[in-house]
Amino acid sequence: MNQNININAKTSLYCVLGNPVSHSLSPVMHNAGFSRTGYNGAYLAFNVDDITSAVTGIRALGIKGASVTIPHKVSVMAYLDKIDDQALKIGAVNTVVNKDGRLSGYNTDCLGAVNALREKTDIKDKEIIMIGAGGAARAIGFGILAEGGKLTILNILEDEGKNLAKDLGVEYYHLSEINRFGCEILINSTPVGMTPDVDNMPVKKDFLKKNMVVMDIVYNPLKTRLLKEAENLGCITVDGVSMFVYQGVAQFEMWTGKKAPVDLMRRVVLDTLGKKHI
């Protein structure tokens, strides 16, 4: 899809900060939105190890907004001037807005995850296992509990898992204990299975059961090995594109004040994934 972006001295710059970001589809999604709405903006991907210096760069260069991804969603909070109440409760920020040099942090992952699940299933009173305890997991966990889901967290890193479980008021177990449990909804909130490690999956195939809802927040590839195996067994699958697009729509509208072209943003993401499909 052609995107006509005219860069000039008045162009507002936006970016994604993370590591890795080489496969991020945020640039194609947001730049398509800017182009469609006639907004004079451009969006780039910055591979960042040092989040302190990156935030200093946002201030110094007048970058108008940023998406924040793995591994900086929690650590970035220390360097912002203001954090939205919901993001504070979640304990993670995935969106930064720069207004006159004052940086505010928000979390749009929560809404993205809930909307993605709602397309396929109810959440209230469902037994839900979430694998992972990073920044995205915090947002998803908050959203699930707000919707009345019954959540258990499984993670490899014990300290990380216990901390999130304590913050959410739920149980934590090591991932190796997963076969002790059953669930109606399984969520992978880790990067396991993301390009280029497309042969990996966070659970063994024998854990998956027919009619289980299986959600993977990885969107590149669109159909991870976890989702392929789940689909083959008759599970209901939720891919990462829906969550990704919904959280991006919220970012776009915060940054620009314009209504996001949701269908276009979803289409360019799916088109780009189709071209990269493995």
Residues catalogued as catalytic: 73
Q: Which residue has the tokens 């976890």?
A: 226
Give Cβ neighbours of residue 133 (< 8 Å, ≥ 6 apart).
153, 155, 157, 160, 161, 163, 164, 165, 172, 189
CB 230 within 8 A of CB 205: no
Give the gyration radius of the chain's Cα atoms.
Answer: 18
> What is the residue whose two structure tokens read 């972006």?
5
Within 8 A by CB and 6+ apart from 84, the residues are 104, 105, 106, 107
DSSP 152-184: EEEESSHHHHHHHHHHHT-EEEEGGGGGG---S
Q: What is the DSSP letter of 75?
A: G
DSSP assignment letter at 79: G
Question: How deeply is 90 buried, as exposed, middle or buried, from its count of CB atoms within 10 A (0-12, 13-18, 19+)?
Answer: buried
How far apart are alpha carbons 216 and 223 in whole angstroms?
9
CA dihedral sign, ordered 140, 146, 151, 155: positive
- Region for residue 134 given its phi and psi (left: phi exceeds 0; alpha: psi -120 to 50; beta: otherwise): beta
